[in-house]
């Protein structure tokens, strides 16, 4: 995402937020597709509850859970923005656990270093050590939610999570054949 | 935007107060209002219309949008054994919808009739010690006309299978198109000498009764159908009830008590209105169709000096004999994309193991179906659909998800559950729901035979994946269930008031103007997919209740 995108999103956030909030408040889902992108953008340019430092470390964890390579990962999906929004709303009770989880992780790393500053291999070593912890399990769950939920929650930006799976979940209607194996079977059945 | 409909005054004594607007309540409302009676239907959830349903997986599946906000809001508790303290779990044990149309809105639409044997299995097999295994007071033949009524009034798509019970009329609509998962199951079945048959659906394959056909969007299981193609009572029955001008759907209204008069008869229901105020609606008769968990809970909440153990509970059977249908599954990944996220969950089933077989060494029967299950939606897939032996994070995990999602399917087993005293619904002594009512407490541990049957069918599921040529397949762990969407048996019907709660016409043995009709009426569990039988019972009950009301016998 470049500077121009960001400023355009900032503009949308300030000019449209009142209208969006009103539409969503009215519970009119027909509008939700239209406002989805803008709504996500509204949330994107600053964190609601995470400090920049904690957000960096949590984002770095999500980017090892779903790394970016020739296909998109947690970074491209903006998973950290989903997490921040979830911790501000539905999962606000878990915020202290996330904060202390990050603090514990950085303490284990030691030497005044933070998780985000480590090389990928070192990051994976530390994550392997905590992969059975409640903290890691929670961040893992939020990473899946943020990668694959509809973008209005702040993640799955431009549907990169769905693209990764070749899930075309926005198309509300299909005709058969749906895939490779049902190419022939329905011709006689539904005629 | 709710519909304009007549609003009865609290001071009016309406003919019927129906608690619950779901599979049974919606049908009873339509049948009784079109028969000329005044009806108020109480629904604790909101009145959503089809266009308000979304594909928001996180909101619907994980945040409990259609379930009144899920676990935290409803406070339901669960324990396996009576000696344990029941606790609130993340996923609520009684998995039902709070919305007009009830769980017929969010169910998958799999739609099996029972067979003759399901009603007389106790006579055929004998007693099973330690259980409340019993015959139904009615037979398949008595219910068949109402199964057919469901087919033609609700809108059912399908084709008959080789061992189905006889039907008096054909399916009104042809089958939903077969998916890759159905094709592969059929391939495996042929190799193993089994018979894959068409899955019947409460989903329209063609336009019917002014409703449009399925668009194969894939959001069936747990979702409301935004096309109105799923044959919920919301789209099939309730509009007809409202069109009479005699039926009011009172949404966002949570009933907390069935009130009784000094003669012991029901006087009406007390409920919290949308603003949280206590109100009471008078009625000549009360019908409970709140589902197999909520109906017994409401009767237990309606205890009084006269009925210290709950209303209609002289037998002590209110809340007892809770049955789920046990489940097992095996997942398989195949070479090519089948894209099973498109369209309905299930297109082929195998009913070759429907009947109990003494050679297996345990009681039970069931069905197998091929379905998308985890690969219908991406979050559920990521959370629970991946193989147990693979990495849980990192590049290899991501790549495997990306490869499997469109290539994966499940074969799911649904089985019998035995009726047991130990499995029940009671009121939690501590937990409350968001209205402050005592929360529903569920106690449940599957009978060993139920789990043995699930394991038996899982073995067949694994063989089917192998025979169908899966690249990789694996079992999901089988263990005692911690909840279900099938909530059955808790106010069973029967001729003997000592061992049942309602008679064969769904009238309370204790309270003559109280009727109970929903999954709680079941005597045995069937083999899965109970909604068809709930709906058939409702059509049948409505006929008898209307007749009794007309001849002043209520």
Asked if B234 and B226 count as a contact pair (C-beta separation under 8 A), the reply is no
B398 at interface of A, judged by CB pairs closer than 8 A: yes
CB of A131 within 8 Å of a chain B CB? The answer is yes
pLDDT higher than 80, residue A64: yes
Report whether pLDDT(A10) > 90: no
How far is Cα B342 from Cα A175, in angstroms, rounded to an integer? 9
Give which of B280, B135, B293, B257 is closest to B514, Cα–Cα: B257
For residue A37, the model assigns a pLDDT of 45
Asked if A90 has any chain B CB less than 8 Å from its own CB, the reply is yes
Secondary structure element (H or E) that encloses residue B267, with its range: strand B266-272
Closest residue by Cα to residue B204 from B182, B228, B224 = B228
**Tokens 């205890």 correspond to what residue?**
B303
Q: What is the pLDDT of residues B170-212, one digit of tens each?
A: 999 999 999 999 999 999 999 999 999 999 999 999 999 999 9
Cβ-defined contact of A27 to B52 (cutoff 8 Å): yes
Band (A26; pLDDT cuts 50, 70, 90): very low
For A73-131, the pLDDT digits (tens) are 999 999 999 999 999 998 999 999 999 999 999 999 999 999 999 999 999 999 999 99
CB contact under 8 A, A174 and B58: no
Going by pLDDT thresholds of 50, 70 and 90, the confidence category of residue A187 is low
Q: Which two tokens stand for residue B406?
A: 């469109």
* Three-class secondary structure assignment of B493-540: ECCCCCCCCECCCCEECCCCCEEECCHHHCCCCCCCCCHHHHHHHHHH
Distances (CA, A) of A191 to A185, A188, B179, B189: 11, 6, 16, 25
Cα B311 to Cα B537: distance, rounded to the nearest angstrom: 22
In total, chain B counts a number of residues equal to 554
Please give the ipTM for the structure prediction.
0.95
A189 in contact with B, Cβ within 8 Å: yes
- b/e sequence A87-104, b meaning 16+ C-beta within 10 Å: bbebbeebbeebbebbee
Q: In chain A, pLDDT over 90 holds for what percent of residues?
A: 69
Instruction: Report d(CA B229, CA B206) in Å as an integer.
Output: 9
Residue B87 dihedral angles phi and psi, to the nearest 5°: -125, 160
* pLDDT above 70 for A43: no
pLDDT bucket at A45, cuts 50 / 70 / 90: low
DSSP structure string for B268-326 = EEEEE-TTS-EEEEEEEEEEE-S-TTHHHHHHHHT--SS-TT-TT-TTS-TT-S-B---
**CA dihedral sign, ordered B269, B273, B279, B283:** negative
- Whether B242 and B49 have beta carbons less than 8 Å apart is answered as no
Q: Is A179's Cβ below 8 Å from some Cβ in B?
A: yes
The two tokens of residue A15 are 């000019």
Q: Which pLDDT value is given to residue A34?
A: 42
Confidence of residue A40 (pLDDT cuts 50, 70, 90): low
Q: Which residue of chain A is at minimal alpha-carbon distance from B187?
A: A181
**B55–A140 C-beta distance less than 8 A:** no
Contact A165 B402 (CB under 8 A): yes
pLDDT at A162: 98
Extract long-range pairs of B431-434: CB within 8 Å, 24+ residues apart. Answer: B431/B75, B431/B76, B431/B77, B431/B86, B431/B88, B432/B75, B433/B73, B433/B74, B433/B75, B433/B76, B434/B68, B434/B69, B434/B73, B434/B74, B434/B75
User: What pLDDT score was predicted for residue A170?
Assistant: 86
In this structure, what are the phi and psi dihedrals at residue B502, rounded to the nearest 5 degrees? -125, 160
Whole-number Cα distances in Å, B311 to B173, B436, B456: 42, 20, 40
A154, A146 Cβ separation under 8 angstroms: yes
CA distance B38 to B245: 9
Compute the distance between CA of residue B22 and CA of residue B517 in angstroms, rounded to an integer. Answer: 11
Find out whether B341 and B376 touch, Cβ atoms under 8 Å.
Answer: yes
B425 SS3 class: strand
Rounding to the nearest 10 degrees, give the CA dihedral for residues B187, B193, B198, B201. Answer: -100
Choose the mutation target among B46, B48, B58, B344 for the interface with A, i.e. most A CBs under 10 Å. B58
Measured distance CA(A79)–CA(A157) in Å, rounded = 8
Q: What is the model's pTM? A: 0.93
B63-72 pLDDT per residue, tens? 999 999 988 8
- Residue A188 is predicted with a pLDDT of 52
Q: Which of A36, A136, A181 to mutate to test the interface with B (most CBs of B within 10 A)?
A: A181
**What gap in Å lies between CA B287 and CA A177, rounded to an integer?**
45
CB A109 within 8 A of CB A115: yes
Are B414 and B367 within 8 A, CB to CB? yes
Cα distances (angstroms) measured from residue B380 to each of B1, B162, B204:
32, 34, 26
Q: Is the pLDDT of residue A186 over 90?
A: no
Q: How confident is the model at residue A190 (pLDDT cuts 50, 70, 90)?
A: very low
Of B215, B339, B382, the CB nearest to A179: B339
Give 3-state DSSP helix, strand, coil % of chain B, rounded to 5: 30, 20, 50
Tokens encoding B305: 């000096």
Token pair listed for B38? 């005044």
- Please name the member of B174, B179, B395 whose beta carbon is closest to the beta carbon of A182: B179
Better-predicted residue by pLDDT, A34 or B144: B144
Note down pLDDT in tens along chain B; length 554 residues. 455 567 899 989 999 999 999 999 999 999 999 999 999 999 999 999 999 999 999 999 999 999 999 888 999 999 999 999 999 988 899 999 999 999 999 999 999 999 999 999 999 999 999 999 999 999 999 999 999 999 999 999 999 999 899 999 999 999 999 999 999 999 999 999 999 999 999 999 999 999 999 999 999 999 999 999 999 999 999 999 999 999 999 999 999 999 999 999 999 999 999 999 999 999 999 999 999 999 999 999 999 999 999 999 999 999 999 999 999 999 999 999 999 999 999 999 999 999 999 999 999 999 999 999 999 999 999 999 999 999 999 999 999 999 999 999 999 999 999 999 999 999 999 999 999 999 999 999 999 999 999 999 999 999 999 999 999 999 999 999 999 999 999 999 999 999 999 999 999 999 999 999 999 999 999 999 999 999 999 999 999 999 999 999 98
């Amino acid at each position: 995402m470049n500077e121009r995108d960001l400023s355009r999103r900032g503009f949308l956030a300030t000019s449209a937020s009142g209208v969006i909030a009103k539409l969503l408040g009215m519970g009119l889902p027909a509008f939700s597709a239209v406002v989805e992108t803008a709504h996500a953008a509204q949330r994107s340019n600053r964190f609601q509850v995470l400090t920049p430092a904690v957000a960096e470390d949590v984002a770095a964890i999500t980017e090892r859970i779903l790394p970016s390579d020739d296909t998109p990962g947690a970074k491209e999906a903006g998973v950290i923005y989903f997490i921040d929004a979830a911790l501000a709303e539905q999962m606000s009770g878990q915020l202290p656990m996330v904060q202390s989880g990050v603090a514990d992780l950085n303490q284990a790393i030691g030497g005044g270093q933070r998780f985000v500053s480590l090389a990928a291999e070192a990051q994976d070593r530390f994550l392997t050590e905590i992969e059975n912890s409640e903290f890691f399990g929670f961040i893992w769950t939020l990473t899946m939610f943020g990668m694959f939920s509809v973008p209005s929650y702040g993640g799955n930006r431009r549907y990169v999570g769905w693209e990764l799976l070749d899930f075309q979940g926005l198309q509300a209607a299909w005709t058969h054949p749906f895939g490779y194996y049902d190419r022939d079977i329905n011709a006689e059945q539904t005629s | 935007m709710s519909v304009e409909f007549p609003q009865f005054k609290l001071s009016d004594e309406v003919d019927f107060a129906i608690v619950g607007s779901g599979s049974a309540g919606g049908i009873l409302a339509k049948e009784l209002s079109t028969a000329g009676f005044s009806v108020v239907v109480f629904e604790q959830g909101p009145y959503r219309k089809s266009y308000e349903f979304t594909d928001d997986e996180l909101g619907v599946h994980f945040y409990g949008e259609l379930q009144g906000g899920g676990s935290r809001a409803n406070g339901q508790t669960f324990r396996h054994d009576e000696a344990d303290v029941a606790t609130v779990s993340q996923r609520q044990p009684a998995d039902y919808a709070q919305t007009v149309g009830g769980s017929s809105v969010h169910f998958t639409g799999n739609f099996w009739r029972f067979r003759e044997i399901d009603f007389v299995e106790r006579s055929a097999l004998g007693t099973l010690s330690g259980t409340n295994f019993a015959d139904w007071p009615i037979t398949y033949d008595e219910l068949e006309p109402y199964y057919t009524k469901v087919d033609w009034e609700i809108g059912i798509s399908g084709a008959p299978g080789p061992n189905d019970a006889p039907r008096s009329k054909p399916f009104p609509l042809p089958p939903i198109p077969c998916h890759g998962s159905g094709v592969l199951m059929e391939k495996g079945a042929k190799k193993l000498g089994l018979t894959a048959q068409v899955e019947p659906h409460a989903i329209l394959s063609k336009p019917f009764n002014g409703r449009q056909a399925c668009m194969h969007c894939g959001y069936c299981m747990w979702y409301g159908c935004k096309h109105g193609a799923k044959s919920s009572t919301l789209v099939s029955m309730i509009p007809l009830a409202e069109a009479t001008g005699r039926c009011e759907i009172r949404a966002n209204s949570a009933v907390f008590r069935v009130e009784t008069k000094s003669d012991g008869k029901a006087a009406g229901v007390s409920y919290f209105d949308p603003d949280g105020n206590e109100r009471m609606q008078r009625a000549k008769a009360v019908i409970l169709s709140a589902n197999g968990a909520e109906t017994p809970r409401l009767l237990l909440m309606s205890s009084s000096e006269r009925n210290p153990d709950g209303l209609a509970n002289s037998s002590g059977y209110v809340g007892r004999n809770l049955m789920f249908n046990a489940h097992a599954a095996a997942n398989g990944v195949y070479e090519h994309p089948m894209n099973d996220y498109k369209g309905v969950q299930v297109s082929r089933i195998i009913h070759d193991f429907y009947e109990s077989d003494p050679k297996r060494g345990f009681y039970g029967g069931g069905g197998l179906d091929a379905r998308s299950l985890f690969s219908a939606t991406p979050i559920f897939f990521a959370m629970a659909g991946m193989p147990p032996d693979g990495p849980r994070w990192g590049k290899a995990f991501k790549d495997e998800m990306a490869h499997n999602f469109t290539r994966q399917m499940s074969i799911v087993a649904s089985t019998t559950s035995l009726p047991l005293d130990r499995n029940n619904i009671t009121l939690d002594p501590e937990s409350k729901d968001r209205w402050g009512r005592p929360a529903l407490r569920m106690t449940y541990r599957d009978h060993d035979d139920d789990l043995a049957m699930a394991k038996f069918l899982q073995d067949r599921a694994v063989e089917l994946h192998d025979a169908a040529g899966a690249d990789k397949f694996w079992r999901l762990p089988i263990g005692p269930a911690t909840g279900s969407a099938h909530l059955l048996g808790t106010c069973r019907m029967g001729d003997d008031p000592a061992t049942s709660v309602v008679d064969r016409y769904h009238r309370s043995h204790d309270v003559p103007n109280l009727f109970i009709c929903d999954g709680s009426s079941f005597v045995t569990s069937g083999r899965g997919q109970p909604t068809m039988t709930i709906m058939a019972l409702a059509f049948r009950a409505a006929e008898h209740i209307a007749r009794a009301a007309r001849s002043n016998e209520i």
